C-alpha cells in the first residue's frame, strides 16, 4: 500500500461542484472559468501557428517574443521595467509557476504564511517541499490583512509569505500601504514572497491594483505570478508566467525545467502575436467584467442574498443568512445546485478553521449575459 505524501488531499470542491452541476443540469457558477471563448483573433493565431509548424519545444524560459510582450505590458500597466531574458519565465499555468516558486525557496522544516481564505494549490505545494503552512485569518468582514495575527504567526522558521491580490474568493484588494508594511517584514526577517496576481486586470470602479511589480523593495524578494488563462478568457490553455529578480528566476528555472521544461509552443506564439496587435485587450478588461458584475448584482439586488459589490476578480461573494441560516455553506451549495439549479462554491473550504457562523458562498460571473440572467432568476426565486 502506498503511503501518501499528501494524505489530506482529496477531490477538490471545484471538481465536486462542477460534476454535480453537470449531473443535475444546474447552471455552473462554481468553478472560475468563462462560459464564452477567448478573442477570435487569438484563437485564429494559435490555429495558424499550429498549421505553420510551430509545434516543437519552445525555449525552457518561454518564447522570447512572448516574454518581451509580458515585459512591455508590465511597463504599461505597472510602470515597472523587467528584463525579459532574466526576469520573465513562461509556465504551463500560474499553478506551475506557484509550485516552482515554492520549491525554489522552501526547505524541510520551513514555515510558510498563508492567508485564509486561501487558494487551494498553495498548501500541497508547500508540503511537497517539506514545509508547513501557518494559516493566518484575514479579517472576516473586509478580508484585509490582520497585522496582529500575522505578526503573532511569524517565527524564526518562517521562510515565505503567500499573497493573493486581487483575492480569490473574496475579491479584496491589497493596498499600497499594506505592501509597504509587508516589505518591512520581508526585509527585516529575510523572507520571500510569492504574489499571486492572476486577477491583476480584473479591477473595477476605477480602483488600481497595487502590484508587487511596482514596489521595488518588495519585488527584490518576490515571485510575481500571473495567468494568460484569466486575462484572455482561455483558462484551459493553462499558460501563465512568473516574474522575479534574476537570482530568484534562475533558481525557479532550475525546477521549472524538470517539472515541465517549457510551455506549449503554438499557444505562446499566438499569445505573443495577439498581445502585440491588441494591447487594448488588457485596458478594456476592467470595463468588460465590470459590466458583467453590475448586470449580475443589479439582478441579484432583488434576491434575499446580501452582498457588497466585489471590487475585483470575477467572483461575487454573497451572504445567505436571510435564506437558510440552518445550513452550513457546503450543504447550502449542494441544496442550491440540486433544488434550485445554480452551482456555487462554499467559502469554508478555503479555510483551515472556518469562521463560526459565516454564511457565504462564491458565485462566478465570468458568464454570458444569458447565463447570468438565467442564474439570477433562479437565485431570486430562492
Ligand X SMILES: Cc1ncc(COP(=O)(O)O)c(C=O)c1O
The closest alpha carbon to 5, from 146, 162, 130, belongs to: 130
- Only segment of 103-111, 182-190, 234-242, 318-326 that touches ligand X (CB under 6 A): 234-242
Residue 137 sits in the site that holds ligand X (CB under 6 A): no
Residues between 21 and 40 with contacts to ligand X, criterion CB under 6 A = 32
CB atoms within 10 A of CB 72: 15
Closer CB to ligand X, residue 229 or residue 311?
229
Please, are residues 25 and 339 in contact by the beta-carbon 8 Å criterion? no
CB of 122 to ligand X, least distance (A): 9
CB of 348 to ligand X, least distance (A): 17
CB of 197 to ligand X, least distance (A): 9
DSSP secondary structure letters along 240-309? EEEE--HHHHHHHHHHHHHHTSS--HHHHHHHHHHHHH-THHHHHHHHHHHHHHHHHHHHHTTSS-B---
Please, are residues 94 and 88 in contact by the beta-carbon 8 Å criterion? no
| Chosen residue from 58, 89, 164, 249 binding ligand X by CB under 6 A | 164
Residues between 279 and 298 with contacts to ligand X, criterion CB under 6 A = none
- Only segment of 155-163, 172-180, 233-241, 344-352 that touches ligand X (CB under 6 A): 233-241
CB of 301 to ligand X, least distance (A): 26
CB of 246 to ligand X, least distance (A): 23
Q: Which helix (H) or strand (E) holds 372?
A: helix 369-380
d(CA 153, CA 265): 42
- Only segment of 93-101, 139-147, 273-281, 289-297 that touches ligand X (CB under 6 A): 93-101
Q: By rule CB under 6 A, what count of residues binds ligand X?
A: 14
Residue with cell 493596498: 175
| Chosen residue from 38, 84, 117, 240 binding ligand X by CB under 6 A | 240
CB of 235 to ligand X, least distance (A): 5
| Chosen residue from 103, 125, 168, 195 binding ligand X by CB under 6 A | 168
Q: Tell me, rounded to whole angstroms, the distance of Cα 201 from its chain centroid.
A: 11
User: Cα–Cα distances in Å, from 291 out to 187, 318, 328, 364?
Assistant: 40, 18, 31, 14
Helix runs in 81-191, H state only: 94-105, 122-128, 147-153, 176-189
CB of 121 to ligand X, least distance (A): 7
Residue 310 sits in the site that holds ligand X (CB under 6 A): no
Residues between 107 and 136 with contacts to ligand X, criterion CB under 6 A = 119
d(CA 235, CA 255): 23
Closer CB to ligand X, residue 61 or residue 227?
227
| Chosen residue from 111, 116, 196, 200 binding ligand X by CB under 6 A | 196
CA dihedral 14, 20, 21, 22 (to 10 degrees): 110
Please, are residues 192 and 223 in contact by the beta-carbon 8 Å criterion? yes
Residue 200 sits in the site that holds ligand X (CB under 6 A): no
CB of 375 to ligand X, least distance (A): 19
Task: Report residue 202: phi and psi, to 5°.
Answer: -105, 75
The CA radius of gyration of the chain, in Å to the nearest whole number, is 20
| Chosen residue from 16, 58, 89, 95 binding ligand X by CB under 6 A | 95
Closer CB to ligand X, residue 168 or residue 268?
168
CB of 227 to ligand X, least distance (A): 3
- Only segment of 151-159, 200-208, 232-240, 360-368 that touches ligand X (CB under 6 A): 232-240
Residue 229 sits in the site that holds ligand X (CB under 6 A): yes
d(CA 314, CA 123): 23
Residue 238 sits in the site that holds ligand X (CB under 6 A): yes
| Chosen residue from 74, 94, 203, 363 binding ligand X by CB under 6 A | 94
Under 8 Å CB-to-CB from 373, ≥6 apart: which residues? 295, 299
CB of 99 to ligand X, least distance (A): 9
Burial class (CB in 10 A: 0-12, 13-18, 19+), 146: middle
Rule CB under 6 A: which residues touch ligand X? Answer: 32, 93-95, 119, 164, 168, 196, 198, 227, 229, 235, 238, 240
Amino acid at each position: 500500500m502506498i503511503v501518501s505524501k499528501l494524505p489530506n488531499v482529496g477531490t477538490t470542491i471545484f471538481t465536486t461542484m462542477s460534476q454535480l452541476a453537470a449531473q443535475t443540469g444546474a447552471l455552473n457558477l462554481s468553478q472560475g472559468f468563462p462560459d464564452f471563448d477567448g478573442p477570435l483573433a487569438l484563437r485564429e493565431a494559435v490555429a495558424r501557428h499550429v498549421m505553420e509548424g510551430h509545434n516543437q519545444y519552445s525555449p525552457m524560459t518561454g518564447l522570447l517574443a512572448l516574454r518581451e510582450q509580458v515585459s512591455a505590458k508590465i511597463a504599461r500597466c505597472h510602470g515597472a521595467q523587467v528584463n525579459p531574458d532574466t526576469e520573465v519565465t513562461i509556465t504551463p499555468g500560474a499553478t506551475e509557476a506557484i509550485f516552482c516558486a515554492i520549491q525554489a525557496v522552501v526547505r524541510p522544516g520551513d514555515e510558510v504564511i498563508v492567508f485564509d481564505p486561501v487558494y487551494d494549490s498553495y498548501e500541497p505545494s508547500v508540503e511537497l517541499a517539506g514545509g508547513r503552512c501557518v494559516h493566518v485569518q484575514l479579517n472576516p468582514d473586509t478580508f484585509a490583512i490582520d497585522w496582529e495575527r500575522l505578526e503573532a504567526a511569524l517565527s524564526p522558521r518562517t521562510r515565505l509569505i503567500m499573497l493573493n491580490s486581487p483575492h480569490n474568493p473574496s475579491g479584496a484588494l491589497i493596498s499600497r500601504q499594506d505592501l509597504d508594511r509587508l516589505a518591512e517584514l520581508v526585509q527585516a526577517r529575510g523572507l520571500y514572497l510569492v504574489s499571486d496576481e492572476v486577477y491583476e486586470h480584473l479591477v473595477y470602479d476605477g480602483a488600481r491594483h497595487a502590484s508587487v511589480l511596482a514596489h521595488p523593495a518588495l519585488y527584490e524578494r518576490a515571485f510575481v505570478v500571473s495567468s494568460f488563462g484569466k486575462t484572455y478568457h482561455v483558462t484551459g490553455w493553462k499558460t501563465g508566467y512568473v516574474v522575479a529578480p534574476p537570482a530568484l528566476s534562475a533558481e525557479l528555472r532550475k525546477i521549472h525545467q524538470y517539472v515541465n521544461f517549457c510551455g506549449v509552443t503554438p499557444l505562446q506564439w499566438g499569445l505573443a502575436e495577439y498581445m502585440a496587435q491588441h494591447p487594448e485587450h488588457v485596458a478594456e478588461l476592467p470595463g468588460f467584467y465590470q459590466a458583467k458584475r453590475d448586470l449580475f448584482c443589479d439582478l441579484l439586488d432583488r434576491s434575499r442574498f446580501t452582498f457588497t459589490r466585489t471590487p475585483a476578480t470575477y467572483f461575487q461573494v454573497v451572504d445567505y443568512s436571510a435564506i437558510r441560516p440552518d445550513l452550513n455553506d457546503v450543504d447550502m451549495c449542494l441544496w442550491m445546485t440540486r433544488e434550485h439549479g445554480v452551482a456555487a462554491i462554499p467559502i469554508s473550504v478555503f479555510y483551515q478553521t472556518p469562521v463560526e457562523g459565516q454564511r457565504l458562498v462564491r458565485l462566478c460571473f465570468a458568464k454570458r449575459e444569458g447565463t447570468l440572467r438565467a442564474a439570477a432568476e433562479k437565485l431570486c426565486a430562492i
